Amino acid sequence: MKKRHYNIPIFIPELACPFQCIYCNQQKISGRLKIPSEDEIIKIIEEHLETIPVKDSEVELAFFGGNFTGIGVDVQRSLLNLVKPYLKSGRIEGIRLSTRPDYIDEDILKMLKDYGVRTIEIGAQSMDDKVLLLSRRGHAAKDTEKAAEMVLKNGFSLGLQMMIGLPGDTLKSAVYTANRIIDLGADNTRIYPTLVIRDTVLEKMFRDGRFQPLSLEEAVLWSKELLLIFEKAGVRVIKLGLHPSEGLLSGEELVVGPFHLSFRELVLTEIWNDILKDVLNSDNSGEIEIHVPISQFNYAVGYGGKNKKKLLKKFKKVRFVRDNGLFRMEYTFH
């Protein structure tokens, strides 16, 4: 039986990041003004472990929200040391962290390996140098290429994160970035639609009429195309859409942009809408039963029942059935 994967997230704020990308206000996104204390981190770990079953689970401690390898080495070591007892006991199997491509070198990677880090996620954001320049990322695509090569050479699992809808970005550019992420050997990725967060350069650009974010419909359609590209290449898309912090939920920090609590479900709804076109083209117009994989049931029915409602315009009765003999995007109907 395959183990279920769990992440215990520890958010590290922008204190470690030497750059201020035009879209970024990490204090707003992570909701933190300082690195959490050792006691806070232990408490977070313990509280999460209480909710995770010991049997058939794979647990990773994840340092997210900032440029981990840009923190002072002593602070990195102290944070990583906190996880050591859990690694030794086997309750946590590994550590994953996120960082910038221009803050990785051989010495850092050796240290991370010694402390049980298994996965390194790099914020590539785009592989288009024009987009990186307009976003004031402070690095070029070649830096991501170099970092990815070093991470893989040192035996880590590689994640490459991307953003869509940044200044200068196009669907063509986003597809190029996705294909480069695959070419560079990433086995996982995250797709983040660009949001305009309060107190950022991007907010000023938006208010001045110099930037317009993707609409929700555009972000969903772009993400649909990218998800299919990654699926075909066997690259796991860990996250679609930004994590819903309290500020974003209340609307206090989000100025404008394609944020939706069920963004992934919207994307997969559209994928299944395309898949089920063959069903709509069938000769039958009476009752129909559609068998889909258990994990895809909600997406096949569609967000808010969208796909089922569309089918009901042709068929008198539509029934979706969870079928544990089907996988990925397989389906049957009769």
Question: Which amino acid is located at 305 in the chain?
Answer: G
- What is the per-residue pLDDT for 103? 92
Contacts of 59 (CB under 8 A, 6+ apart): 6, 7, 8, 49, 52, 91, 92, 93
Opening angle at CA 237, ends 231 and 242, nearest 5? 145
Opening angle at CA 198, ends 36 and 131, nearest 5? 95
* All structural domains of the chain with their residue ranges: 4-260, 269-333
Q: How does the average pLDDT of the chain come out, rounded?
A: 91
Contact 141, 168 (CB under 8 A): no
Among candidates 220, 109, 128, which has minimal Cα distance to 176?
128
Distance CA 162, CA 124 (A): 6
Helix, coil or strand: residue 99:
strand
- What is the per-residue pLDDT for 127? 98
Helix (H) or strand (E) holding 205: helix 201-207
Q: Which residue has the higher pLDDT, 219 or 35?
A: 219
Sign of the torsion angle spanned by Cα atoms 300, 302, 305, 308: negative
DSSP secondary structure letter of residue 106: H
Instruction: Please give the CATH architecture assigned to the domain spanning 4-260.
Output: Alpha-Beta Barrel (3.20)
* pLDDT, tens only, 52-97: 998 889 999 999 876 899 888 998 999 999 999 999 999 999 999 9
Helix, coil or strand: residue 240:
strand
pLDDT (average), residues 234-239 = 96
- What is the per-residue pLDDT for 263? 96
Q: What percent of the chain has pLDDT over 70?
A: 93
* pLDDT, tens only, 148-182: 999 999 999 999 999 999 999 999 999 999 999 99
Q: What percent of the chain has pLDDT over 90?
A: 77
- What is the per-residue pLDDT for 32? 47
Contact 291, 321 (CB under 8 A): yes
**Residue 34 — pLDDT band, cuts 50, 70, 90?**
confident
- What is the per-residue pLDDT for 199? 87
Distance CA 334, CA 332 (A): 7
**Residue 1 — pLDDT band, cuts 50, 70, 90?**
low
- What is the per-residue pLDDT for 96? 96
Lookup: tokens for 189:
């990725």
Least confident piece of the model among 94-103, 217-226, 250-259, 320-329? 250-259
Helix (H) or strand (E) holding 131: helix 129-134
Question: Which amino acid is located at 172 in the chain?
Answer: K
- Alpha-carbon dihedral 169, 170, 173, 174, rounded to 10 degrees: 90
**Residue 245 — pLDDT band, cuts 50, 70, 90?**
low
* pLDDT, tens only, 87-134: 999 999 999 999 999 999 999 999 999 999 999 999 999 999 999 999
pLDDT over 90 at 208, yes or no: yes
Side-chain half-sphere CA neighbours of 41 within 13 A: 20
Q: Which residue has the higher pLDDT, 220 or 287?
A: 220
Rg of the chain over Cα atoms, rounded to whole angstroms, equals 21
Distance CA 196, CA 254 (A): 6
- What is the per-residue pLDDT for 14? 59
Q: Which residue has the higher pLDDT, 176 or 245?
A: 176
- What is the per-residue pLDDT for 283? 77
Sign of the torsion angle spanned by Cα atoms 122, 125, 131, 134: negative
